[in-house]
Structure 1
Amino acid sequence: MVYPRAFLSFDFDHNELHKKLFAGQAVSDSPAPFTVEDWSSKTTLPQSQWEALIKKKMAHTHMCIVLVGRHMATATGVVKEIAMAKELLVPVFGVYVDDAGITSALPVGLQRNRTMAWRWDLIAAAVQQMMGEGKNA
């Protein structure tokens, strides 16, 4: 069985640990079968190379999950990843991490009504919804 692939967008400077925890729990705790690939750039790249690399990786996914932390307002890369996802018709939803919540700033392009608490039942429902949207429809 092939599981849907998720691209994780996160604030590299503040939420790398949360990304690792989320990806690990997705394997062991999630009631929704999906895979998370670690497609983060391992080195600092010139902007144009980074954008080309991320766009290529994003094109091979079924959805983009944005991990919304407390410092999301400074995460310019996340905003670019959301824009790339939308351009490629990759559905996007968000999950609050790092004590962020409904009053936390969201990155441009991420809707509040598509952002939820880190609860696997909610995430499973969102994964199922994403598989009927955008390029998955």
Structure 2
Amino acid sequence: MATKKRVFISFDFDHDEGAKIMLAGQAKLPDSPFDFIDASIKEHLTGDWKEKVRRRMGNVDVVVVLCGEHTHTASGVAAELTIAQEKNKEYFHLAAYSDKTCTKPTSATASDKVYRWTWDNLKTLIGGGR
């Protein structure tokens, strides 16, 4: 069996924690192509939190940016995406909700697409298909 990818999930802690928990739970499915690395910063965004994210991101294969209705206002998600871009990490944006308008972080590029969250899509995206 192929080695599972290590995934960092960037999300809006104030609005999308439930969606993040569901996404992390999918890593436990028998046919999951990824392991979830809980690298979330749980304290307020003070001090050296960006350096902590840089260190934690150094050990992952792909960054999943979980996009909700307020992601465009989440400065922490924007900063995490910038760090992923600086570290040349693979990343993609995943719509946290199928019934809501999901927005990208401000550091996303114009060409960054927000993908639908289905199990088949997730497996394809983590495998590099985008």
TM-score, length of structure 1 as denominator length: 0.81
Tell me by how many angstroms 1:56 deviates: 0.5
Distance change in 2, residues 1:86/1:111 (3 Å): same
Q: Which residue pairs with 2:103 in the alignment? A: 105
**Residue 65 of structure 1: SS of its match in structure 2?**
strand
- Pair 20,6 (structure 1): closer, same or farther in 2 beyond 3 Å: same
Q: What secondary structure, in the 3-state scheme, does the structure 1 residue paired with 2:50 have? A: helix
The one-character-per-residue Cα deviations of 1:80-110 (angstroms, maximum 9, x if unpaired) are 1111001101011011013334xx4311315
Q: Encode CA deviations 1:21-73: one digit per residue, 9 max, x unaligned.
A: 110123227x44111111112323524x1000001001110010011001112
- 1:65 is matched with 64
What residue in structure 1 maps to residue 43 of structure 2? Answer: 43
Gaps of 5+ in 1: 131-137
1:19 and 1:42, CA in 2 relative to 1: closer, same or farther beyond 3 A?
same
RMSD: 2.2
**Could you list the runs of 5+ residues in structure 2 that have no partner in the other structure?**
none
Distance 1:111 1:126, change over 3 A: farther
Contact 1:92-1:110 within 8 A present in 2 as well: no
Aligned with 2:12: secondary structure?
A: coil
Q: Classify 1:55/1:4 alpha carbon distance in 2 versus 1 (closer, same or farther; 3 Å).
A: same
Matches within 5 A, 1:81-96: 81-96=80-95
Deviation sequence 1:109-129 (CA, Å, 0-9, x none): 155654211101111111111
C-alpha contact 1:10 1:78 (8 A) present in aligned 2: yes
With structure 2 as the length reference, what TM-score do the two structures score? 0.85
| Larger helix proportion of the pair | 1
Percent identity over paired residues: 31
Q: 1:78: which partner in 2?
A: 77
| CA distance in structure 2 between the aligned counterparts of 1:32 and 1:112, rounded to whole angstroms | 28
Asked if 1:20 is matched to 2:21, the reply is: yes
Give the partner amino acid of 1:93: F
